[in-house]
C-alpha cells in the first residue's frame, strides 16, 4: 500500500541503510578499525606500536576520514596531520597516484618546501589558513578537496584490498 505522504521509498531506503550498517558493524573491517583506534589511543605505544602495514592502513584511513569531514585543512590541522609522511607513503604503496598528487599539492599550499611538522601546534602555527578564512589558500584547498571527494583512486576499495592482502583482518 502506498504511503499517504509518498515517503515509502525513503522509509525503505532507511531500513536498507540500517541493515547495511548493522552488517558492517559485525564485519572484519570494522572490528579491525576499532582495534586499531583502541591501540593507537589507549596503549602506551600508540601509533608507533602498530606494524608497518597497520600504520599505512591507519594513516590512509585517517586521511580519508579527515578530508571527507573537513578537507585537507582539517587533516593537517588535526593530530592526523602528524601521519602525513606515512599517509603519503601509503597512498604510493596503494598506487593511489592521483590521491597522492592531491595530498602533495595540499602540503605545498600549506607548507611550501618546508617539511610537515609532526607536532600539531607547530603545524597549525605554519598554516596560513588557521584563523584566516579569507586566505587565498582556502580556495586552493577547496578545489583540491573537491577533486579528492571524486575518489579518483577508489581509496576505500584499495584500503580493503591492502588489508586483505596484508592479512590485517583477523576474520577476513
The residues, ordered by sequence, that sit 6+ positions from 9 with a Cβ below 8 Å of its Cβ are none
The residues, ordered by sequence, that sit 6+ positions from 32 with a Cβ below 8 Å of its Cβ are 163, 168, 169, 170, 172
Query: What does the pLDDT look like over 3-37, one tens digit per residue?
Result: 666 777 777 777 777 776 576 667 889 999 999 99
Query: What does the pLDDT look like over 142-170, one tens digit per residue?
Result: 999 999 999 999 999 999 999 999 999 97
Count of all residues that appear for the chain in the document: 172
Let me know: does 76 contact 123? Beta carbons within 8 Å.
yes
Query: What does the pLDDT look like over 23-82, one tens digit per residue?
Result: 666 788 999 999 999 999 999 999 999 999 999 999 999 999 999 999 999 999 999 999
pLDDT of residue 9: 79
pLDDT of residue 170: 73
Cell of 29: 573491517
pLDDT of residue 171: 56
Residue extents of the structural domains in the chain: 52-165
Average pLDDT, the chain: 92
Residues 94, 153: Cα–Cα separation, whole Å: 9
The residues, ordered by sequence, that sit 6+ positions from 36 with a Cβ below 8 Å of its Cβ are 50, 54, 57, 58
Let me know: does 96 contact 64? Beta carbons within 8 Å.
no
Query: What does the pLDDT look like over 120-131, one tens digit per residue?
Result: 999 999 999 999
Query: What does the pLDDT look like over 69-120, one tens digit per residue?
Result: 999 999 999 999 999 999 999 999 999 999 999 999 999 999 999 999 999 9
pLDDT of residue 20: 63
Amino acid at each position: 500500500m502506498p504511503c499517504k505522504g509518498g515517503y515509502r521509498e525513503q522509509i525503505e531506503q532507511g531500513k536498507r541503510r540500517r541493515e547495511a550498517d548493522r552488517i558492517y558493524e559485525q564485519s572484519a573491517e570494522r572490528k579491525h578499525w576499532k582495534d586499531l583506534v583502541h591501540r593507537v589511543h589507549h596503549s602506551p605505544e600508540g601509533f608507533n606500536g602498530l606494524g608497518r602495514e597497520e600504520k599505512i592502513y591507519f594513516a590512509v584511513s585517517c586521511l580519508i576520514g579527515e578530508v571527507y569531514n573537513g578537507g585537507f585543512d582539517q587533516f593537517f590541522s588535526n593530530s592526523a596531520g602528524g601521519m602525513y609522511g606515512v599517509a603519503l607513503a601509503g597512498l604510493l604503496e596503494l598506487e593511489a597516484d592521483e590521491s597522492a598528487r592531491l595530498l602533495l599539492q595540499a602540503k605545498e599550499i600549506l607548507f611550501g618546501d618546508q617539511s610537515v611538522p609532526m607536532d600539531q601546534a607547530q603545524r597549525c602555527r605554519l598554516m596560513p589558513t588557521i584563523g584566516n578564512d579569507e586566505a587565498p589558500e582556502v580556495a586552493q584547498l577547496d578545489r583540491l578537496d573537491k577533486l579528492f571527494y571524486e575518489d579518483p583512486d577508489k581509496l576505500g576499495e584499495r584500503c580493503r584490498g591492502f588489508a586483505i592482502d596484508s592479512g590485517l583482518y583477523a576474520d577476513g
